[in-house]
Structures are given as C-alpha cells and as structure tokens.
C-alpha cells in the first residue's frame, strides 16, 4: 500500500524515504509493458529514473518553477498530491511529467490561500512501523463494516482516499491541524535515535548476508529486529510499556546470544561477536532510561503549533 508514504505529516526529503513494506509487489504494474515486448532493461531503467526523480520534489523550500510547472512534476504540484485537504485529495499523480494529470483531469494547482495540510485523512498517530503498514487495511475494513450499502462495502476497497460511502461523512480538515508529535524525555529521544541507526545497520546486514546464515537464525533475528523497531517507536510515543518491553527485548537478546554463541557454525560467529558490544550499549542506555527519567506524553490535539 502506498499509503505509508503519505502518512508523513511533514513534507521534506525524508518523506521520500518513507516507503511501504509491500513495495516489492509494485512490479506487477510494469508487467503489461513486458508482455507487449518492451525490453526488460528499458523497464528497469525507466522505473529507476522515475523513482529517483521523485526524491527532490519532497520539499517546502522551493516554491514555483515558472514554465516548468506546466511540464514536470515539481515541489509545488507534488505538495498538492501529499495534502489531505479536500480540495487537493486524489490530484497530481504524475511521477516525472505533470502533463498526464493535465490531460486526464486530475491536475490541481497549489493555491496559496489554501495551505497544504500534509498526511492522510485518518491520522496514523503512531511511530509503530508495523502499525503504519497495517493501518490503511484496518481503516478500510472499518469503513466497509460501517456503511449500510452492500455495494459500498465492496467499492470502498477499490476507491481512492477522497471517496467515502454516502452514509459516512469524511473527516473534517481544518487549518489549525497539529501534526502528531508527542513530547518525550531527551534521554528516550536520544536513546531511540542511537538504537534506530544501529538496528538499521543490523537489518541491512541481515538482508545482505541472509543466505549465509541458518534459516532459523534469520527468522529469529528478523522477528527480534522488527520488535526492536516497534519498541523504539513506543519510546517516541511516550508509551507507558516502553521501558518494560525494552527490558524484555534486551533479555531476549541475552538468550539469543547464549544460544547461538554455543553453535559452532561459522556464519553465526561474526554477528554473535558484534552483538556483545551492542548489548553493553543497550544496557547503558536502558540504565539511563530507568534512572529517574519518566515518559511524558502530550496528546497532539493539546499541543501548540510549532514553528
């Protein structure tokens, strides 16, 4: 689902890196090109350039680009694509050329009197990466359940985000919208920051060398890494169970270290050796979190807008 990319309530270059966990099935949309005889290298090249081009347009610092606005996707018209305002929803689908939206009636120019409010119609309100990927399916199922129209119960699965069943009112989008940004203690914020980058490096290493590891090791490591990212998200949400879950996560790492450290399999030796210093780092951060630091959460609707 592409919705995960649009969940960001900020609009900057990091938004371009926010991608869904089901992106790997996107190749099916290119299959018709292959079936009509287009060479694979052309499809791969065009698909790659299309993706790379879209990185730079995720910014609010560039306003308008004059005549290029008529031809290319620009930061201005792509901001419209990311906005949750009713006036902007389901507009500007183009990846490189905006002329297609102009031709097929889906173009909408950015109106300076209507500031773009970024995000999705039903706020995610979470830093949980697993929930971020499941959220759209749960919300769609809720709409399907709530509508009384039998036809709409099926239609909701195929319509865009701007469509709602006739008997369900769409959410109100106001100009005083405040992005989800719970306030947490500095130690939790910095601990999650450090953990995120270490865990990301570990996840990339696992993906790169997964064929060299025993399958059970890969599965256990995958589950543990996924849970680790979820827990770091809990810290940034100010979740009351974050500390307890983090303690359990580290204890589980000790169990994994003891178990796989006793297996004389060469591919496992290196990750186990690297786990030892990471364990010490995690214990240090956990000690700082337990020591006098409390989680503080301010609901997003009670926050003052930040400049």
The band of 293, judged by pLDDT with boundaries at 50, 70 and 90, is low
The band of 25, judged by pLDDT with boundaries at 50, 70 and 90, is confident
Average pLDDT over residues 24-37: 84
Distance CA 178, CA 305 (A): 6
The model carries a pTM of 0.81
The band of 273, judged by pLDDT with boundaries at 50, 70 and 90, is low
- What's the confidence (pLDDT) of residue 160? 79
Distance CA 293, CA 132 (A): 28
Domain boundary assignment for the chain: 3-123, 186-290
Dump pLDDT digits (tens) for 143-174. 999 999 999 999 999 887 778 898 988 877 76
Using the predicted structure, report yes or no on whether residue 17 has a pLDDT greater than 70: yes
Dump pLDDT digits (tens) for 69-80. 999 999 999 999
Q: Check: CB of residue 92 under 8 Å from CB of residue 80.
A: yes
């Amino acid at each position: 689902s592409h919705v995960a990319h649009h969940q960001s309530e900020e609009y900057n270059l990091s938004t371009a890196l926010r991608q869904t966990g089901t992106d790997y099935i996107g190749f099916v949309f290119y299959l018709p090109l292959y079936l009509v005889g287009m060479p694979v290298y052309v499809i791969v090249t065009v698909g790659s350039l299309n993706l790379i081009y879209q990185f730079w347009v995720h910014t609010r610092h560039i306003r308008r680009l004059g005549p290029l606005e008529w031809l290319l996707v620009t930061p201005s018209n792509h901001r419209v694509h990311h906005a949750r305002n009713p006036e902007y929803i389901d507009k500007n689908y183009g990846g490189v050329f905006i002329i297609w939206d102009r031709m097929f009636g889906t173009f909408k120019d950015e109106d300076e009197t209507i500031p773009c409010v970024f995000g999705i119609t039903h706020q995610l309100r979470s830093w949980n990466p697993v929930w971020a990927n499941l959220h759209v399916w749960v919300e769609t199922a809720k709409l399907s359940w709530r509508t009384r129209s039998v036809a709409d119960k099926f239609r909701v699965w195929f319509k865009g985000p701007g469509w709602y069943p006739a008997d369900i009112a769409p959410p109100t989008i106001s100009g005083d919208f405040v992005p989800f940004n719970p306030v947490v203690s500095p130690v939790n914020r910095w601990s999650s920051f450090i953990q995120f980058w270490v865990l990301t490096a570990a996840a990339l290493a696992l993906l790169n060398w997964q064929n060299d590891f025993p399958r059970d090791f890969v599965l256990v490591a995958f589950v543990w890494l996924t849970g680790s990212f979820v827990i770091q998200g809990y810290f940034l949400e100010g979740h009351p169970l974050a500390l307890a879950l983090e303690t359990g996560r580290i204890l589980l790492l000790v169990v994994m270290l003891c178990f796989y450290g006793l297996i004389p399999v060469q591919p496992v030796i290196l990750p186990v050796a690297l786990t030892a210093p990471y364990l010490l780092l995690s214990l240090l951060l956990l000690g700082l979190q337990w020591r006098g630091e409390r989680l503080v959460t301010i609901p997003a609707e009670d926050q003052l807008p930040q400049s």
